[in-house]
Structure 1
Amino acid sequence: MKKGTEPPPHVHEREDELFYILSGEIKVFVDGQVLTVAAGESVFLPKKVPHAYLIQSDECHVLALMTPGGFLNAINKMNAPARTMKIPSDMETYATADLTATMEVFIKYGVRMLSPNEVAAQLPAYPTVH
């Protein structure tokens, strides 16, 4: 993952998530806490608890476990064939893309993006501009 490609604050209705950081560092916002998680460390994000993360290093390599399975079906609904074997420099990120279609797919799989009011109330330390 590259800095700036993080998903917006969201909540999973079905899956628990566990991130094990292989390299780099992320800042996690969950349950009123702000956690810095670096290489060799992990963080558990329980279902039904709003959360977000921001990559602190230029890149971060993460092993993600989501249980029960099924969320990757949502990701697969949005996949597009690669144009080349390199990451495109013009790749849209969550920060630049229109998320309407993404949100419609995610909601079918139990993932909901938080509104700005929900972010302010439930993740007060999450920066509004990052």
Structure 2
Amino acid sequence: MEQNYWLFGTELKILVDEQKSDGHYDLIEGTLAAEVETPVHLHSKYSEEIYVLEGDFTIYIPGLSIKVKVGESVFIPANTPHVVSAGSNEKNRALTVASPSGFAKLIRSVGRPATSDQPPIEDHETMKKFLNLSEAIGDVLLGPPGSRP
């Protein structure tokens, strides 16, 4: 059932989606290059658990930064503004459990199938689709990459 996609330079593998979990959760494997980070955002309809497989990540939430290393995880409750920032390793890989489902739908709908090792160049239409679907599934962008909650 594994489905591989590129979304904004990040390789995302859908391991379990709403169809397999009956809408209870999505299981996503993400691979981020060194020092790539998400914009400040929150998920109003689902929570996340991030478990590090390779490299390390820093999770920024209001008033706190949490460094997460291989074998460690962090829980991000719904409605919590946050940033996920990859460490300086060439490859940083983590599993994300999003519960209930929603994240896999966003990846499938906006991401591009990973048919090579190189991410495609994103265009204005990709961002437009991303923003529209994010709003529909309850994701809210609060600031650009580099800002903190």
TM interval, shorter chain, is 0.7 to 0.9
SS at match of 1:103: helix
Which is richer in strand?
Answer: 2
RMSD value, Cα: 2.1
Q: What displacement does 1:4 show?
A: 4.9
SS at match of 2:133: helix
Matched residue, 1:61: 93
- The 8 Å contact of residues 39 and 143 in structure 2, kept in 1 or not, is answered as no
Tell me the TM-score normalised to structure 2 length: 0.66
Counterpart Cα distance in 2 of 1:9 and 1:110: 14
Counterpart Cα distance in 1 of 2:80 and 2:139: 11
Structure 2 gap ranges (5+): 1-30
Counterpart Cα distance in 2 of 1:34 and 1:81: 33
Structure 1 stretches of at least 4 aligned residues deviating more than 4 Å after TM superposition: none
SS at match of 1:28: strand
Amino acid at match of 1:78: V
Tell me the TM-score normalised to structure 1 length: 0.75
Amino acid at match of 1:27: T
Q: What displacement does 1:113 show?
A: 0.7
